[in-house]
């Protein structure tokens, strides 16, 4: 089994989009896949259950038969930082519960398990605990989604630096073009290719799914 933690250079940079693409591509290649979004905020109550759109996308692209609660065990209604939402709800986010949820999915023996973060690398869980601490405990390789926009060079390099300082391996990074007219897009991408201390896994053009040969290459890299 191969398992990875997908983080981003900020919120709304395409972590879920990339995670769903990777899960779907691996599933179509005949792999058993499952996505895991342990903590989410910004949920809708449907039939008495909190449903997060990001988690729903991971669920829809997982080939193993899992439920919304298995994919996203910790969920809050307000679209705010999870530790603030937890405090307002009078609950505590338990890192052990996140690890237990991961162990449960791992026990299903998937070929590929993708755990998606929320926000960026150093997501607070409350009481000076961070989601990155859980990733460290699980010893997961990390995939960084770089949202290609003004400021991405600093955000990408600092994220990579923090992941490495935490003693984890960066499997690679993916460039996600967020705007069709980002100034000097190619020059920024070239700078990241030269400066990022990890392999460049691929590029997702604005509003497009990567070409099939790119998906095949990514699936091969992640599942071997």
pLDDT tens figures, 61-87: 999 999 999 999 999 999 999 999 999
pLDDT digits (tens, 9 = 90+) for 89-98: 999 999 999 9
**Which residue out of 15, 24, 37, 171 is catalytically annotated?**
37
Work out the average pLDDT over 136-165: 97
CA distance 210 to 216: 10
pTM given for the model? 0.94
Superfamily of domain 2-223: P-loop containing nucleotide triphosphate hydrolases (3.40.50.300)
CA distance 15 to 78: 20
Domain map of the chain by residue range? 2-223
Specify whether 37 is catalytic.
Answer: yes
Strand partners, 34: 113
CA trace torsion 103, 73, 28, 220 (10° rounding): -50
């Amino acid at each position: 089994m191969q398992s990875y933690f997908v983080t981003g250079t900020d919120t709304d940079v395409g972590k879920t989009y990339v995670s769903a693409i990777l899960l779907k591509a691996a599933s179509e290649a005949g792999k058993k896949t499952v996505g895991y979004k342990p903590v989410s905020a910004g949920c809708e109550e449907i039939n008495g259950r909190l449903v997060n759109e990001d988690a729903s996308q991971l669920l829809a692209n997982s080939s193993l038969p899992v439920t919304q609660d298995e994919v996203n065990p910790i969920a809050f209604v307000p679209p705010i930082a999870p530790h603030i939402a937890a405090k307002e709800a009078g609950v505590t986010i338990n890192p052990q519960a996140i690890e237990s949820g991961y162990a449960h999915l791992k026990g299903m023996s998937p070929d590929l398990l993708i755990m998606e973060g929320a926000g960026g690398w150093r997501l607070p869980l409350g009481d000076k605990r961070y989601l990155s601490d859980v990733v460290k405990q699980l010893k997961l390789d990390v995939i960084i989604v770089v949202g290609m926009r003004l400021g991405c060079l600093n955000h990408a390099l600092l994220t990579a630096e923090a992941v490495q300082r935490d003693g984890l391996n960066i499997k690679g990074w993916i460039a996600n073009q967020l705007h069709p007219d980002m100034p000097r897009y190619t020059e920024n991408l070239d700078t990241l290719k030269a400066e990022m201390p990890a392999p460049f896994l691929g590029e997702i053009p604005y509003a497009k799914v990567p070409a099939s040969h790119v998906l095949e290459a990514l699936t091969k890299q992640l599942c071997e």
